[in-house]
Amino acid sequence: MIADNKKKQGKLVVFSAPSGSGKTTIVRHLLKQKELNLEFSISATSRAARSNELHGKDYYYLSLEDFKNKIKSDEFLEWEEVYRDNFYGTLKTEVERIWAKGKHVIFDIDVSGGLRIKRKFPEETLAVFVKPPDLNELVRRLKDRGEESEDKINMRVAKAPAELATAPLFDVIVVNSDLDDALKNAYQLVSDFLNK
């Protein structure tokens, strides 16, 4: 169990941001740095997989009913209804699986989930907020992805100001106006935290 592992567990590194800020790009970069000994926490979701996504690699895709049953049986470390009937969460078994391998857990999750993990594990967690240079750039990045409808993009953009307002609650903010700088900054922050 998570609570019983205090002595030998790894650390938790949370990256949260509005959609389009670049957090996924940063997390993927950090995962390639073998010396950091990180493993990605695969979130569970009730949303359908996108064409390029795989179950057990990008997400654990659950039916809405299955997701709600797991909430009832307390199987999540954190969960959130991010959009109506679109649930996302971290299964406790996922963190336990990574810790059992002797690795640190890295998360790419929404701001509410990130802050919940930080509250549950204040000493073991580095919570990083990735901030876009401005909202216009965020919209441009979301459109450039070409993955979502105009309605979906508008939904994400409408949510961004509330998400941006949570930035001061995180341990550190990485502004992603220049990707190379953001990658270097994120690497240094994570490396320093894991070596404490």
Q: Are 171 and 128 in contact (CB under 8 A)?
A: yes
Would the pLDDT of 4 be above 60?
Answer: no
Q: Using CA atoms, how far apart are residues 114 and 35, in angstroms rounded to an integer?
A: 24
Please tell me the predicted confidence (pLDDT) of residue 154. Answer: 84
Q: Once rounded to an integer, what is the mean pLDDT over residues 23-32?
A: 96
Identify the weakest region by mean pLDDT among 12-26, 55-69, 126-140.
126-140
CATH number at residue 70: 3.40.50.300
Angle of helix 179-194 relative to helix 23-31, nearest 10 degrees, comes to 50
Identify the weakest region by mean pLDDT among 114-123, 149-158, 172-181, 187-196.
149-158
Angle of helix 135-145 relative to helix 150-164, nearest 10 degrees, comes to 150
Would the pLDDT of 2 be above 70?
Answer: no
Give the range of the structural domain holding residue 176, as residue numbers without chain letter: 3-194
Q: Once rounded to an integer, what is the mean pLDDT over residues 168-176?
A: 97
The structural domain count of the chain equals: 1
- What global pTM score does this model have? 0.87
